[in-house]
């Protein structure tokens, strides 16, 4: 259910397209939905001028755009009210209770995602330092570590950490201004401000914040004009003791195309890294994430997830999501085998790079046949089966194309490969021995 505010904002986006800009700016400024009642939308307008003109000239457009967004809209009525400003300010003075934050989509003013809190972050040796630094920043913004830069490979919770700083800062001081922006968004903002000739308002917009959080600053590298703008913004905020928080995928010193003046500025604050989590932390992450969604998993399944999916927290979450959806669809608890079958096809299992030769070697060894015979044109039963299994695995787990598989395995036609894959797939359904064998082979290939 969208709020009336969102409904009107979306309608305005539609209207802006169909009405000339001067007209739009003149007549739709300060309009808002007062209330919705029995399909009638009561639109608050600032004056009788606006009321008379909107209802004669733009009524059709308004009704159409509202109907497009909400079928229940029958009619639009216009009332003169200037209460909008006050209405907007009120919610800001009362900080929303933390329990409600989870229901909120991205916060409009700050573009922070309220889901990212310190409480939902799993702290382990891999991110302990970053976590401590982030909390210090919340306690003493602008003083403790300024700027704070968190770097590390993708999917390790950098965004989570820096957004948590923003969310906590916002709760702590609702009247202070926080803004979260990705460097990409920042660049786009700048470019569009440049095109519209509104660089000044761009500057003003960014310079008003007490806490500015910028994600993925490495993307600033190589964009000279934007880097320069960023540099000035950095200096302005830093001089004003405003807190700056950044994330990057590399240490700033090794980012290509970043000038020394920027590097040294990053270095002036605190630079902390997050590393891929160890096994214990991964287990803890699985637990927390599962608990967060009230999802009960047997210990062995958690253990399995923590063991098989290494390095990346995001993939861990992805795997967990897959399991949750499956669970919801089936309506019965998942066993460890279910989990293994489910995750086998996913990226998590296929990400290891293994050469075709290795696969052939492993499987030939497994079945006790000679490696060379796999490549030969023999149709001996003891060779055919392993060969089919090889083809199947190459296809299913490593996503190699049918012609390539045929080519690699002694110049066979791709239809042969297709047939083999189909055969194994069919057999798997009834043949538990085969399924077991495949499972073992897969473990060996890891």
Partner 1 sequence: MKFETTTESLAQAVATASRFAERRANLPVLGCVLITAEGSRITLRATNLECGVEIVVPAKVTTEGTVAAPAGVLSGFLNNSKGKSVTVSLVGEVLKVEGERANASIKTIPHEDFPILPRVSAETSFTIKASDLVRAIRSVAYCASLSAVKPELQSVLVYGDAGKLTTVATDSFRLAEKQMALKSGGSIPQLLVPARNAAELMRVLETVKGDIEIYYNDNQLSTQADAIYYTSRLLDGAFPNYRQILPKEFSTEALVLREDMSSALKSLSIFADKFAQVSLAIDPEKKSLFLSSRNPDVGEQISTVKATIQGDGVAVSFNGRYLADSLQSIVGDSVRLHSNGAGKPMLIKDASDDSFLYLAMPMNR
Using CB under 8 A, list all residues that contact partner 1. 20-23, 25-26, 47-53, 56-57, 80-82
Whichever of 53 and 231 has its CB closer to partner 1, that residue is 53
User: Cα Rg for the chain, rounded, in angstroms?
Assistant: 29
Of residues 28 and 392, the one with the C-beta less far from partner 1: 28
The nearer residue to partner 1, 50 or 391, going by C-beta atoms, is 50
Cα 177 to Cα 146: distance, rounded to the nearest angstrom: 17
Minimum Å gap between C-beta 23 and partner 1 is 6
Rounded to a whole number of angstroms, the minimum distance from the CB of residue 41 to partner 1 is 20
Query: What's the token pair of residue 52?
Result: 């008379």
Which residue number, 9 or 30, has a Cβ lying nearer to partner 1?
A: 30
How far is the C-alpha of 276 from the C-alpha of 50, rounded, in Å?
A: 58
86/446 with CB nearer partner 1: 86
SS3 109: coil
Distance of closest approach, residue 48 Cβ to partner 1, in angstroms: 4
How near is the Cβ of 199 to partner 1 at its closest, in Å?
A: 20
Smallest separation, CB 4 to partner 1 (Å)? 21
Closest listed residue to residue 416, CA positions, set 435, 390, 440, 436: 390
Q: Which CB sits closer to partner 1, 81 or 250? A: 81
- Nearer to partner 1 among residue 47 and residue 154 (C-beta): 47
Query: Taking the complex as a whole, how short is the minimal distance between the CB of residue 22 and partner 1, in angstroms?
Result: 4
How many other CB atoms are there within 10 angstroms of residue 130's CB atom?
28
φ and ψ at 275, to 5 degrees?
-110, 165
Residues in the chain: 446
Query: Token pair 């600032």 is at which residue?
Result: 46
Residue 149 pairs with which residues in a beta bridge?
A: 246, 271
CB of 80 to partner 1, least distance (A): 5
| Shortest Å, Cβ 18 to partner 1 | 14
Q: What is the DSSP string of 51-93?
A: HHHIIIIIHHHHHHHHHHH-TT--EEEEEE--THHHHHHHHHH
Cβ-based nearer residue to partner 1, 29 or 380? 29
Segment (H or E) for 4: helix 4-18
Which is closer to partner 1, CB of 77 or CB of 184?
Answer: 77
Instruction: Report residue 190 as tokens.
Output: 């700048």
Considering beta carbons, is residue 27 or 186 the nearer one to partner 1? 27
End-to-end alpha-carbon separation of the chain, Å? 46
From the CB of 288, what's the least distance to partner 1, in Å?
Answer: 49
* Residue 140: other Cβ atoms inside 10 A: 12
Q: Give how far Cα 12 sits from Cα of 27, 28, 32, 38, 60, Å.
A: 11, 8, 10, 21, 14
- Which among 41, 38, 40, 39 has a CA at the least distance from the CA of 5? 41
The nearest distance, CB 55 to partner 1, in angstroms, is 10
Report cis status (omega within 30 of 0) of the bond before 135: no
In sequence order, the 6+-apart residues with CB closer than 8 A to the CB of 87 are: 32
């Amino acid at each position: 259910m969208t709020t009336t505010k969102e409904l009107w904002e979306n309608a305005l986006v539609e209207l802006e397209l169909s009405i000339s800009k001067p007209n739009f700016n003149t007549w739709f400024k300060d309009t808002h939905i007062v209330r919705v009642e029995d399909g009638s939308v009561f639109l608050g307008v600032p004056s009788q001028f606006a009321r008379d003109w909107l209802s004669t000239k733009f009524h059709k457009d308004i009704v159409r755009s509202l109907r497009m967004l909400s079928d229940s809209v029958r009619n639009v009525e216009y009332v003169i009210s200037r209460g909008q400003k006050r209405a907007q300010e009120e919610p800001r003075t009362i900080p929303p209770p933390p329990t409600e934050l989870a229901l909120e989509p991205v916060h409009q003013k700050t573009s922070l995602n309220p889901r990212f809190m310190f409480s939902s972050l799993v702290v382990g040796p891999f991110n302990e330092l970053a976590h401590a630094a982030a909390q210090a920043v919340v306690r003493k913004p602008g003083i403790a570590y300024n700027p704070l830069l968190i770097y590390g490979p993708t999917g390790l919770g950098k965004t989570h950490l820096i957004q948590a700083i923003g969310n906590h800062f916002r709760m702590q001081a609702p009247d202070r201004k926080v803004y979260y922006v990705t460097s990409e968004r920042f660049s786009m903002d700048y470019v569009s401000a440049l095109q519209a000739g509104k660089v000044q308002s761009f500057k003003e917009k960014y310079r008003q914040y007490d806490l500015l959080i910028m994600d993925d600053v490495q993307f600033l590298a190589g964009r000279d004009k934007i880097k320069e703008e960023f540099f000035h913004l950095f200096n302005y905020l830093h001089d004003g003791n405003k807190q700056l928080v950044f994330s990057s995928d590399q240490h700033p010193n090794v980012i290509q195309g970043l000038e020394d003046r920027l590097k040294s500025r990053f270095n002036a604050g605190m630079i902390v890294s997050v590393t891929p989590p160890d096994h214990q932390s991964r287990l803890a992450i699985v637990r927390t994430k599962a608990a967060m969604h009230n999802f009960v998993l047997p210990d062995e399944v958690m253990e399995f997830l923590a063991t098989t999916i290494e390095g990346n927290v995001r993939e861990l979450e992805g795997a967990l999501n897959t399991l949750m959806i499956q669970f919801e669809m089936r309506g019965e608890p998942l066993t460890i085998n279910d989990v293994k079958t489910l995750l086998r096809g996913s990226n998590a299992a296929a990400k290891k790079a293994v050469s075709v030769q290795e696969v052939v070697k492993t499987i030939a060894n497994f079945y006790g046949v000679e490696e060379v015979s796999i490549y030969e044109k023999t149709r001996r039963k003891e060779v055919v089966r392993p060969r089919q299994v090889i083809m199947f695995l190459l296809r299913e787990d490593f996503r190699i194309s049918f012609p390539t598989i045929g080519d690699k395995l002694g110049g066979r036609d791709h239809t042969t490969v297709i047939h083999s894959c189909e055969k194994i797939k069919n057999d798997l359904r009834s043949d538990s021995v085969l399924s077991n064998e495949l499972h073992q082979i897969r473990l060996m290939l890891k």
